[in-house]
């Protein structure tokens, strides 16, 4: 059983993306730039890896002897863990970090330090999310049994409170990957033929998942319990704090890029077709935020430029700020929406307002011809 293919409308203003791609290509030629990582990106890689591994080394080598010092190190690891996910492995698993596939594979494997399995991540994110953004039944990022992320999902009574309990579930996201999600995904992807598309058998993939979970837990939990002269539950508390910080940060960066008041949600018709072409679909389902904040953008791997990322995932994120002007001007020229929030807090607010509207049913009562373009 293979997953059905969604057909985009190739007749819907195909000249938009053709012209946009031409202009972006010209930008790199005119400035004699590589689309891959530059010195800035390499320095960021060293910083994020250090933010994660230096505190871990300090703990397992016995340098740390007090509870509160250890907790500070776990907090730093939580930020480092999310930094690796946002700013390093994300580009690598898109093949945009380096033109060398081996470099991308090595750095892409770092997602296992988030408690996830790199092959599952590529399938869910690269294949499903990027191909079918905000399409019910295809984009797993909006398919959640405890949250209602789309008006096309049946509403349950518990969803009335989702704007309040969402931060908790966001915080345990990486723990869910670690304990359950990867195993569930393997079963699902085997049935849909997606594992075979990655050149893996179910048996081999399962062996890799189990092996990765064992070494990850040994390194980040069991070894600290053995080496640190503190009660085991102190270490467990720190480990859970690290996971919660990372999960919360990852969710609060990715969710306001797609699940906000402005963006659209889709269900394919009876022929598995959608109304827009792929590029315009990305523009209607994706939003930017805090584009003037250079430091913030540096820390989160340029993912406040989600529009540029979805249109050009093969370009390293350090280039998004420059090409965003090209994308915005071209979108305006072809009357294509370009959604953005001036601040990160504004995007967060829009996300939680939408969660509340979806949970209470107020969103469902809005006119079908609502327009959010601004």
Task: Assess contact for 273 and 292: CB atoms under 8 A.
Answer: no
pLDDT digits (tens, 9 = 90+) for 304-323: 999 999 999 999 999 999 99
Check whether 353 has a pLDDT greater than 90: yes
Check whether 98 has a pLDDT greater than 80: yes
pLDDT > 90: percent of the chain:
91
pLDDT digits (tens, 9 = 90+) for 258-312: 999 999 999 999 888 999 999 999 999 999 999 999 999 999 999 999 999 999 9
pLDDT digits (tens, 9 = 90+) for 166-185: 999 999 999 999 999 999 99
Question: 275: helix, coil or strand?
Answer: coil
Q: What local confidence, expressed as pLDDT, does residue 363 receive?
A: 82
Q: Give 350-356 contacts, CB < 8 A, sequence gap 24+.
A: 350/256, 350/260, 350/261, 350/262, 351/255, 351/256, 351/259, 351/260, 352/163, 352/166, 353/163, 353/261, 354/259, 354/260, 354/261, 355/147, 355/148, 355/149, 355/162, 355/163, 355/166, 355/259, 356/162, 356/163
The closest of 8, 1, 2, 3 to 268, measured between CA atoms, is 8
The closest of 336, 273, 334 to 307, measured between CA atoms, is 336
Mean pLDDT of 54-83: 94
- How deeply is 90 buried, as exposed, middle or buried, from its count of CB atoms within 10 A (0-12, 13-18, 19+)? buried
Mean pLDDT of 222-243: 95
The closest of 343, 345, 350 to 290, measured between CA atoms, is 343
Structure tokens at 366: 């809005």
Least confidently predicted of 118-122, 245-249, 270-274: 270-274
In our burial notation (b when 16+ CB lie closer than 10 A, e otherwise), range 120-137 reads bbbbbbebbbbbbbbbbb
Check whether 252 has a pLDDT greater than 80: yes
Q: Domain boundaries in the chain?
A: 14-362
Mean pLDDT of 125-131: 95
**Residues facing residue 7 across a β-bridge:** 273
Task: Give 209's contacts (C-beta < 8 A, 6+ positions apart).
Answer: 117, 120, 182, 183, 186
Q: How crowded is residue 92: how many other Cβ atoms within 10 Å of its Cβ?
A: 23
Structure tokens at 339: 């959604």
Least confidently predicted of 4-8, 246-250, 305-309, 367-371: 367-371
**Residue in this structure with the two tokens 């400035």, named with its chain if needed:** 31
With cut-offs at 50, 70 and 90, classify the pLDDT of residue 60. very high
Check whether 324 has a pLDDT greater than 90: yes
Check whether 209 has a pLDDT greater than 80: yes
Task: Give 339's contacts (C-beta < 8 A, 6+ positions apart).
Answer: 260, 262, 263, 283, 286, 287, 288, 307, 372, 373, 374
Check whether 373 has a pLDDT greater than 80: no
With cut-offs at 50, 70 and 90, classify the pLDDT of residue 366. low
Q: What local confidence, expressed as pLDDT, does residue 1 receive?
A: 45
The CA distances from residue 340 to 150, 283, 337, 352, in Å, are 19, 11, 10, 16
The closest of 86, 118, 116 to 105, measured between CA atoms, is 118
Mean pLDDT of the chain: 94
The closest of 162, 187, 170 to 353, measured between CA atoms, is 162
Check whether 347 has a pLDDT greater than 90: yes
- pTM of the model as a whole: 0.93
Q: What local confidence, expressed as pLDDT, does residue 5 receive?
A: 81
With cut-offs at 50, 70 and 90, classify the pLDDT of residue 242. very high
Check whether 368 has a pLDDT greater than 60: no
**Residue in this structure with the two tokens 């829009």, named with its chain if needed:** 350
**Residue in this structure with the two tokens 């390194």, named with its chain if needed:** 219
Check whether 371 has a pLDDT greater than 50: no
Task: Assess contact for 158 and 165: CB atoms under 8 A.
Answer: no
Distance separating alpha carbons of residues 24 and 38, to the nearest angstrom: 17
Q: What local confidence, expressed as pLDDT, does residue 270 receive?
A: 85
Q: What local confidence, expressed as pLDDT, does residue 343 receive?
A: 97
């Amino acid at each position: 059983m293979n997953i059905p293919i969604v057909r985009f409308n190739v007749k819907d203003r195909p000249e938009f993306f053709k012209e946009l791609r031409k202009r972006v290509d010209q930008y790199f030629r005119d400035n004699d730039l590589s689309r891959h990582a530059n010195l800035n990106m390499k320095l960021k890689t060293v910083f994020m890896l250090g933010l994660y591994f230096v505190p871990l080394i300090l703990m397992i080598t016995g340098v740390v002897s007090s509870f509160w010092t250890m907790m500070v190190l776990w907090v730093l690891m939580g930020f480092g863990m999310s930094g690796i996910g946002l700013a390093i492995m994300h580009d690598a698993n898109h093949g945009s970090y380096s033109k060398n596939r081996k470099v991308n594979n090595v750095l892409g494997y770092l997602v296992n330090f988030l408690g996830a399995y790199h092959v599952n991540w590529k399938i869910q994110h690269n294949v499903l999310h990027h191909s079918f953004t905000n399409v019910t039944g295809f984009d797993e990022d909006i398919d959640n049994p405890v949250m209602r992320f789309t008006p096309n999902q049946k509403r349950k009574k518990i969803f009335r409170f989702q704007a309040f309990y969402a931060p908790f579930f966001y915080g345990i996201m990486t723990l869910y990957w670690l304990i359950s999600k990867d195993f569930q995904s393997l079963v699902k992807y085997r049935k849909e033929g997606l594992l075979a598309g990655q050149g893996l058998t179910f048996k081999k993939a399962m062996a890799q998942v189990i092996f990765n979970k064992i070494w990850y837990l040994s390194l980040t939990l069991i070894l600290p319990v053995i080496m640190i002269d503190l009660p085991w539950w102190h270490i467990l508390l720190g480990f859970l704090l690290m996971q919660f910080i990372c999960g919360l940060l990852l969710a609060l960066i990715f969710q306001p890029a797609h699940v906000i008041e402005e963006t659209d949600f889709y269900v394919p018709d009876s022929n598995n077709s959608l109304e827009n072409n792929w590029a315009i679909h990305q523009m209607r389902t994706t939003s930017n935020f805090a584009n003037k904040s250079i430091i913030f953008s540096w820390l989160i791997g340029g993912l406040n430029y989600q529009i540029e990322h979805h249109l050009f995932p093969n370009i390293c994120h350090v280039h998004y700020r420059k090409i965003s002007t090209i994308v915005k001007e071209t979108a305006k020229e072809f009357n294509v929406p370009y959604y953005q929030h001036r601040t990160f807090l504004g995007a967060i607010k829009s996300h939680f307002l939408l969660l509340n509207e979806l949970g209470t049913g107020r969103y469902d009562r809005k006119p079908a011809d609502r327009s959010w373009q601004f």
